[in-house]
Amino acid sequence: MANLETLLNKTLMPLAEKVQRNKILGSLMEGFIRASPITIGVALITIVGNFPINAWIAWLKQVGLTEHINAITNGATGVLSLYVIYSLAMSYAKRLEVNQRNAAIISLAFFIMIMPQTVASVVTQAGKQVPTNIGALRLDYLGGQGIFIGMLVALIVTRLYAYLNTKNLVIKLPSSVPPMVTQSLAPVFVVTIIFIVAFAIRVLFSFTKSGNIFDFFVNTINAPLNLLVASPLSIIIIMSLLSLLWFFGIHNAVLQGPLSAITLTMISTNIAAYQNGQPLPYLVPSIVAGGIMASNFLGIVTIFMFKAKSAKMKQLAKLSFVPSLFGITEPIMFGMPIILNPIFFIPQILPPIISGFLSWGLVRTILPVNLNPTTSLMPWTTPVFVKTPLAGGINYTIIMLICFAVTALIWYPFIKIADKKEYQLEMESKAETEMETAAEIEAENAQA
């Protein structure tokens, strides 16, 4: 293990330093970190509103609290793309040395402009239901499905804004005009050009079958996966791809189409067979999916972080541990960040692949599982270490523990490397602060 850490330190640390110096990649990492308070702050409310006890969830609905809990959750994660765009645009603008607030608000406006702004609905007229379109923005595009496009918008619009500002397109106002007014009116021509680009994108993508850039992106990714059927291999492919895309900031919601088609088929067919006392048609794919879910349990990662040297990792462990128990990974994905962090590329994509094939092999050979598929209907926040034993007894629990071990072994050295890097940065920052303090004291003594 020590030799592996040494090897990884030699290869990954220089790469991480280059990433931080790169304006785009550094901005991406900073942007996600700055958006992390949103995901951490809403985690408790999300857990309470989806606590894995059916009686509790039914009571919340009965007293009318579910609607308000969902509103708070949607106000955070349901429009997460907006927060990512704003923080990312500001981070990139800072590195390009242009007005950060202007870049952020222009990026947000651009994003909204290229979005579909009508939603199909039905109204009742003269006792008849009539299809109609209403003006609205879908949370699908503002949330998970829009994060990747939002990232591109923030980077491209901010870069275009910085470039156009160098072309003397800024309105020159007298020095007597207040700075706030000058900063607001000066880039009018620049913003006009940027919004013409937004108009062109809307028009161009309206001629595609998808009708807009958001659906075009989702359909392009989903198209080859829609051909897959429910099998152990397809489960491994899709769920491993989820981890890979999530590393690049593409939320799991993008692949909900093919994944839902497969999982719903497995769940409904297995439950029907189970109730009729028949063999489960999709037993092995379901076990494989469960093993991969166990490998994605980030509670193991936060346990390692509690023993870290760096203050950042220790604090992040405290904030993200409880959410991770309930399957809420955004706090650690954004807070570390894991997204687009080269140190965590391997541990992010490798455990699902290994655990998927391990689960497949074990259930086919030495650890056959008698699965109760009705546990699939439990709330999504049910901890995997609770759901798995209920679903498949001792053998399924052993498979889960093996997948946990795989995750721990793969993640541990990378957490150690990241912790060492963060600790060095903290020590350097502390030394600089102490030097500045000493210099200030010296200057004060000299004046006295």
In a domain? residue 334: yes
Domain span holding position 276: 1-23+228-447
Predicted pLDDT of residue 8 = 58
In a domain? residue 111: no
In a domain? residue 327: yes
Number of structural domains found in the chain: 1
Residue 124: enclosing H or E segment and its boundaries?
A: strand 118-125
In a domain? residue 416: yes
Predicted pLDDT of residue 160 = 94
Residue 358 makes CB contacts below 8 A (sequence gap 6+) with 291, 399, 402, 403, 406
Q: Which residues of the chain have pLDDT under 50?
A: none
Predicted pLDDT of residue 13 = 63
Predicted pLDDT of residue 159 = 94
For residues 72 and 42, the answer to whether their CB atoms sit within 8 Å is yes
Using DSSP bridges, classify how beta strands 118-125 and 128-135 pair: parallel, antiparallel or unpaired.
antiparallel
Residue 295 makes CB contacts below 8 A (sequence gap 6+) with 351, 352, 354, 355, 356, 403, 404, 406, 407
Predicted pLDDT of residue 57 = 84
Predicted pLDDT of residue 227 = 64
> Is the previous residue joined to 337 through a cis bond, with omega within 30 degrees of 0?
yes
In a domain? residue 295: yes
Residue 178: enclosing H or E segment and its boundaries?
A: none
Hey, is 133 helix, strand or coil? Answer: strand
> For residue range 39-66, what is the model confidence (pLDDT) as tens digits?
888 888 888 888 877 788 889 889 998 8
Predicted pLDDT of residue 207 = 92
In a domain? residue 193: no
Predicted pLDDT of residue 94 = 92
Burial class (CB in 10 A: 0-12, 13-18, 19+), 166: exposed
In a domain? residue 345: yes
Predicted pLDDT of residue 93 = 93
DSSP string, 37-100: HHHHHHHHHHHHHT-S-HHHHHHHHHTT-HHHHHHHHHHHTTTHHHHHHHHHHHHHHHHHTS-H
In a domain? residue 241: yes
CA distance 396 to 280: 15
